[in-house]
Amino acid sequence: MNFLVLIGKYFFLMKTVFSKPVKRKIFWKRVLEEIDGIGINSIWIVSIVSVFMGAVLALQVATNFESPFIPKYLIGFSTRETMILEFSSTVVCLILSGKVGSNIASEIGTMRITEQIDALEIMGVNSANYLILPKIIASVITFPILTILSIMLGIFGGYMVSFFTGIVAIPDYIYGIQVFFVPYNVLYSIIKMIFYAIIITSISSFFGYYTQGGALEVGKSSTNAVVASIILILIFNLLLTQLLLL
Amino acid sequence: MIEIKSVYKTFADKIVLNNVSTVFEPGKVTMVIGRSGSGKTILLKSTIGLSSVDNGEILYNNRDFFKSNIKIQRKIREEMGMVFQGGALFTSATVQENVIFPLDLFTDWTKAEKLKRVNFCLNRVNIEDANNLYPGELSGGMQKRVAIARAIVLNPKYLFCDEPNSGLDPQTSIVIDKLIKELTLEYNMTTIVNTHDMNSVMGISDKIYFLYEGQIEWEGVSDDIFNSENQNLNDFVFASEFFRKAHSSGTINGRMVKQ
């Protein structure tokens, strides 16, 4: 029953979120601020994780492909496919749900307990729309860009490890990352990322917006937001893969 | 003018507002006093529409807040200014950004016009050279004054203050009280103040409501408060050692009181 109430509250909040902003100019300024906060500030973590994961993927594939009948270019191919199909969308989003999601929940939760949201409402501002919609739009814009960045850096990580360790000849690796390329897979990854962007920002905002109590409850909201986002990302990963790839 | 008609509100099975009816008049500072848990905050929150009521009407110049559509509710709210207990300033924004915020949203003024109004309001509350400071860099009293400046920047018709002196020293409290009184007269605002502070009540109130267990048990003016026969009010007022002594000596703030 509580679960149904929670879902009802979520959709009720979303109905309030997706309404006309008070002033378009202020709204787009807020979107730009959120692009900076959510997207630009996440570049470093996505870059570091992607480069290392790409490098590790190449190494692991290389150690498992010892048979002379398996062509070496498959190291590049596997690295590329893993980055595109799963890592740069789902795994990156699981990481972002921790960074961005907890940040959003604690920011909005703190605003709630310090009456800043009440202050917005008293001024006649639709607080849900003002605070949450720019975050959703900013994440929908920036997360796909982060995916592309992650794919490129992951493949670059594999290249670097090939270059420095010699596990595969560079021409083989380059051939591997070009062969059997299916552009649709990149689109699939981007579509998944858009769904995850909406999940992370709206779920985290929801938990933050309905925080009650003090600092301890803000922490709990933040944790709940991350846990709920991760579970939903995994469920949607399965559903979207079924729908888009099979 | 704000009219509250037969308002009921319950939480679970507990009645928190029980048939509350009253009128808040423009140009006057109305103070709502009562013990913690008496229903003051929920009355204020219901009046400004942050909390719904189970029954009854809240009329802003004959516009029923809860029966109005969202557009009218937002319009009414644009006419409100609110000073929260903790100030509720936007912590990631500077003083200037906090005060200019309502102007950005609800006016089409030029930047120069907005800045002029912001500086006027900040000067009015005696805040100078603090435009670029963040709320965290201000004292409690200054934060409250910035909150007042933000509340009045759009020339509101209604000003609500939830325990504006909480956490402030007595001298700063007097400054805040004076400011609220002066601004109420200046802008002919309908001002409602929730407070525990009897000094404020004696100092600036034009009308007082005493709330006890969700009901208005007593209403009157500061001159009458010490002569009331209401036991609950007397228990509340004379809980303070100062007021007990002053009452027994016969004068408070130079006013004669019943022995």
Q: Could you report how far apart the first and last alpha carbons of chain B are, in Å?
A: 37
Range of the domain at B198: 1-79+160-222
- Residues 6+ away with beta carbon under 8 Å from B172: B140, B141, B144, B165
Same domain, B113 and B150: yes
Same domain, B21 and B131: no
Residue of A119, A125, A126 with shortest CB distance to B82: A119
d(CA B63, CA B59): 5
Q: Is B48 in the A-facing interface, judged by CB distances under 8 Å?
A: yes
Q: Is residue A98 part of a domain?
A: yes
Interface with chain A: mutation pick from B52, B83, B84, B163, highest number of A CBs within 10 Å: B84
Q: Which strands, in side-by-side order, build the sheet including B215-220?
A: B80-83, B158-162, B190-195, B28-33, B207-212, B215-220
Q: Is residue B230 part of a domain?
A: no
d(CA A12, CA A208): 15
Q: Tell me the one-letter amino acid at A143.
A: F
- Residues 6+ away with beta carbon under 8 Å from B135: B87, B89, B90, B91, B93, B95, B98, B143, B146
Residue A161 has pLDDT above 90, yes or no: yes
Q: Is residue B244 part of a domain?
A: no
Same domain, B209 and B114: no
Least confident interval from A28-32, A128-132, A146-150, B227-231: B227-231
Query: Based on the structure, what is the number of domains in chain A?
Result: 1
Same domain, B148 and B214: no
Q: Which of A59, A29, A35, A33 is nearest to A157 (CA)?
A: A59
Closest chain B residue to A127, measured at CA: B74
The distance of B171 to chain A (nearest Cα, Å) reads 25
Domain end position, chosen among B155, B180, B199: B155
Q: Is residue A5 part of a domain?
A: no
Residue A168 has pLDDT above 60, yes or no: yes
Residue of B82, B85, B104 with shortest CB distance to A26: B104
Same domain, B151 and B167: no
How high is the mean pLDDT of chain A? Answer: 93
Q: Is residue B250 part of a domain?
A: no
Supply the ipTM of this predicted assembly.
Answer: 0.82
Q: How confident is the model at residue A147 (pLDDT cuts 50, 70, 90)?
A: very high
Q: Is residue A179 part of a domain?
A: yes
Q: Is residue A7 part of a domain?
A: no
CB B144 within 8 A of CB B95: no
Residue of A23, A118, A124 with shortest CB distance to B84: A118
Q: Which of B94, B91, B75, B9 is nearest to B44 (CA)?
A: B9
d(CA A160, CA A61): 15
Average pLDDT over residues A133-138: 97
| pLDDT score, position A138 | 97
The distance of B98 to chain A (nearest Cα, Å) reads 11
d(CA B184, CA B202): 16
Instruction: Name the B residues in 80-139 with CB < 8 Å from any A CB.
Output: 80-82, 84-86, 88-91, 101-102, 104-106
CB B124 within 8 A of CB B118: no
Q: Is residue A182 part of a domain?
A: yes
Q: Is residue B85 part of a domain?
A: no
Q: Is residue B51 part of a domain?
A: yes
Per-residue pLDDT of chain B (259 residues; tens, 9 = 90+): 899 999 999 988 888 998 999 999 999 999 999 888 888 989 999 999 888 899 999 999 889 988 888 888 888 888 899 998 888 999 999 999 999 999 998 888 999 999 999 999 998 888 888 899 999 999 888 898 899 999 999 989 999 999 888 878 888 888 888 889 998 998 899 999 999 888 888 888 999 999 998 899 899 888 888 878 888 888 888 776 666 666 666 665 555 554 4
Q: Is residue B237 part of a domain?
A: no
Contact A124 B77 (CB under 8 A): yes
Range of the domain at A36: 22-244
d(CA B158, CA B30): 11
| pLDDT score, position B246 | 67
Q: Is B238 in the A-facing interface, judged by CB distances under 8 Å?
A: no
Residue of A118, A121, A125 with shortest CB distance to B105: A125
CB A226 within 8 A of CB A200: no
Domain end position, chosen among B155, B175, B203: B155
Domain end position, chosen among B140, B155, B170: B155
Residue A185 has pLDDT above 80, yes or no: yes
Please provide the DSSP assignment of chain B as one string. -EEEEEEEEEETTEEEEEEEEEEE-TTEEEEEE--TTSSHHHHHHHHTTSS--SEEEEEETTEETTTS-HHHHHHHHHTEEEE-TT----TTS-HHHHHHHHHHHH----HHHHHHHHHHHHHHTT--S-TT--GGGS-HHHHHHHHHHHHHTT--SEEEEESTTTT--HHHHHHHHHHHHHHHHHHT-EEEEEE--HHHHHHH-SEEEEEETTEEEEEE-HHHHTT---HHHHHHHTTSHHHHHHHHHTEETTEE---
d(CA B13, CA B75): 33
Interface with chain B: mutation pick from A112, A116, A120, A218, highest number of B CBs within 10 Å: A116
Instruction: Name the A residues in 80-119 with CB < 8 Å from any B CB.
Output: 110, 114-116, 118-119
d(CA B138, CA B95): 9
Closest chain A residue to B50, measured at CA: A118
Beta strands in chain A (DSSP E): none
Q: Which of A34, A18, A15 is nearest to A26 (CA)?
A: A34
Same domain, B72 and B167: yes
Q: Is residue A180 part of a domain?
A: yes
Q: Is residue B186 part of a domain?
A: yes
Q: Which of A106, A107, A89 is nearest to A154 (CA)?
A: A89
Same domain, B142 and B194: no
Pairs of CB atoms within 8 A across A/B: 53
Same domain, B145 and B164: no
B44 contacts in chain A (CB < 8 Å): none
| Distances B21 to A188, B49, B211, B216 between C-alpha atoms, Å | 61, 16, 12, 8
Contact B88 A119 (CB under 8 A): yes
Q: Is residue A74 part of a domain?
A: yes
Query: Based on the structure, what is the number of domains in chain B?
Result: 2
Same domain, B14 and B71: yes
What CATH code is carried by the domain that includes residue B71? Answer: 3.40.50.300
Structure tokens at A234: 């995994």
With 0.90 as the threshold, say if the pTM is over it. no
A110 contacts in chain B (CB < 8 Å): 91
Q: Is residue B30 part of a domain?
A: yes
A22 contacts in chain B (CB < 8 Å): 105-106
Beta strands B63-64 and B158-162, pairing class: unpaired
Q: Is residue A1 part of a domain?
A: no
Same domain, B2 and B55: yes
Closest chain A residue to B72, measured at CA: A124
Same domain, B167 and B66: yes
Same domain, B203 and B112: no
